Amino acid sequence: MIEFSNVSKWFGAVRVLTSISATVPKGSTVVLCGPSGSGKSTLARTVNRLEPIQEGKITIDGADIHAAGVDVNKLRTGIGFVFQQFNLFPHLTVLENVMLPLQRIRGQSRKEAAPAAMDMLTRVGLADRAKSLPADISGGQSQRVAIARSLVLTPGVLVLDEPTSALDPEMVGEVLKLLRKLSEEGMTMMCVTHEMGFAREVSDRIWFLKKGELKFNGEPAAFFSEDAPSEVRSFLSAVNRTR
Ligand SMILES: Nc1ncnc2c1ncn2[C@@H]1O[C@H](COP(=O)(O)OP(=O)(O)OP(=O)(O)O)[C@@H](O)[C@H]1O
Ligand SMILES: [Mg+2]
């Protein structure tokens, strides 16, 4: 459903993505990994046009999303985006944070938005915190609220950029568990993460970027095997050393 063909991007004179060609099939979970500075965030951000591209094409369900005349706001409402930082509005309750896209983008009243937002909070296991303020819930709960907020407009794709990197270790598990559930429910996901356990158990495909090049695109079993490319092997041993 998302197709990258020969996508290249430069920041000024520096090429940060080099001829990326790959597909995220509908209903699949792709994990995007690679060393710092390899272009993971940049590639993720091209999907909702937070980053322009200079060469190649990205299509979602066949539509060229970087074409002139694309309604960027409409494009973005069809893609849930989750960042490392949750960016919840501190003065709004958990429920109000999740209601906001429905009110702002769908033009719903509070009365209309509340039940759908509540359903979404139930789905992420936080119905009982609906009336809390963000300051009164944990980091893991905050990220689950952010995920609920990104899903409330029922996007076709969820793009996540290191959703657990800002969390204390004991809170990583609850967020990964939620992502696993969404994956099993058939959500199409593209997730930048260093959580190799998640990559191994949940992803359908792993993309490995190095210096802007897609050096590996395959199933987890191949990625974690002895026969993986040497760049993958050394990346994995570096990840293991830091844990
Ligand atoms: N706005 C920008 N202007 C110039 N260069 C940038 C900009 N954003 C990123 N870069 C550069 O592009 C390259 C890719 O950066 P990117 O943030 O995509 O890497 P990353 O794989 O997400 O790294 P990390 O694991 O540290 O998050 C890096 O060399 C970075 O310095
Ligand atoms: Mg990044």
What does the alpha-carbon distance between residue 222 and residue 165 come to, in Å, rounded to a whole number?
Answer: 25
pLDDT of 95 higher than 90: yes
Structural domain including 59 reads 2-241
Confidence tier at 241 by pLDDT (50, 70, 90) = confident
204 neighbors 29 (Cβ within 8 angstroms): yes
Which atom of ligand 1 is the closest one to the Cα of 34?
Answer: 21
pLDDT tens digits, 70-90: 999 889 889 999 999 999 999
Measuring from atom 26 of ligand 1, which residue has the nearest CA?
Answer: 36
Q: In this predicted structure, what is the pLDDT of residue 147? A: 97
Residue 138's contacts (CB-CB under 8 Å, 6 or more residues apart) are 171
- Does the beta carbon of 41 sit less than 6 angstroms from any atom of ligand 1? yes
Q: Is 46 in the pocket of ligand 1 (CB under 6 A)?
A: no
Q: What is the pLDDT of residue 243?
A: 67
Rounded to whole angstroms, the Cα distance separating 119 from 98 reads: 10
CATH code (residue 158): 3.40.50.300
Which helix (H) or strand (E) is 210 found in, with range? strand 205-210
Say yes or no to pLDDT of 38 above 80.
Answer: yes
Which amino acid, one-letter code, is at 196?
M
Q: Is the CB of 38 under 6 A from ligand 1?
A: yes
Count of structural domains within the chain: 1
Q: pLDDT per residue over 117-175, tens digit each?
A: 999 999 999 999 999 999 999 999 999 999 999 999 999 999 999 999 999 999 999 99
